[in-house]
Amino acid sequence: MEALLERFCYSVMGTFGILKVFLGDHVIFQCFTVERPWADNKRMESCVPCGRYALVPAVHHISTPDPDDDYDVYEISGVSERSAIHIHIANKASDVFGCVGLGTDLGALRGTWAVLNSKRAFNEFMEVMEDAINPHLTIINYRGGRL
């Protein structure tokens, strides 16, 4: 299974894109993404560099005392000088620390650009990826034409 993240907006409020998951030539899932702005690939501060990466199952640990709050995610693996880059539930760039948040729509929350309905988009993504064998993600910048 292949996924493509095509970024179309780099701003101080975040880096935004569209994530598409393909089965063969068919798009079987699509949503918006949010990341932090580019910061020279600095760990926990930068969006992910463009490239092709393996997606591996991981656990996203939530900063609460209850281990039941942790949940399964996919990790973007093989990023130079980085680790633990998760695709997870998040609405704003400030919600991710070098990771990628998913949402069904674009909008604003408390005056900040955001992706909306993150939990729904994330759950749909995980359902589509459930039977994925050796999935990969390619990240590119918008090249014009249709998104």
* The predicted structure's pLDDT at residue 103: 98
Write out the chain in H/E/C secondary structure. Answer: CEEEEEEEEEECCEEEEEEEEEECCEEEEEEEEEECCCCCCCCCCCCCCCEEEEEEEEEECCCCCCHHHCEEEEEEECCCCCCCEEEEECCCHHHCCCCEEEECEEEEECCEEEEECHHHHHHHHHHHHCCCCCCEEEEEECCCCCC
Q: What is the pLDDT along the chain (147 residues), one digit of tens a residue?
A: 999 999 999 999 999 999 999 999 999 999 999 999 999 999 999 999 999 999 999 998 876 566 677 889 999 999 999 999 999 999 999 999 999 999 999 999 999 999 999 999 999 999 999 999 999 999 999 877 665
Domain boundaries in the chain?
2-141
Report the alpha-carbon distance of residue 82 to residue 134 in Å, rounded: 20
Q: Please indicate, yes or no, whether the overall pTM of this predicted structure exceeds 0.75.
A: yes
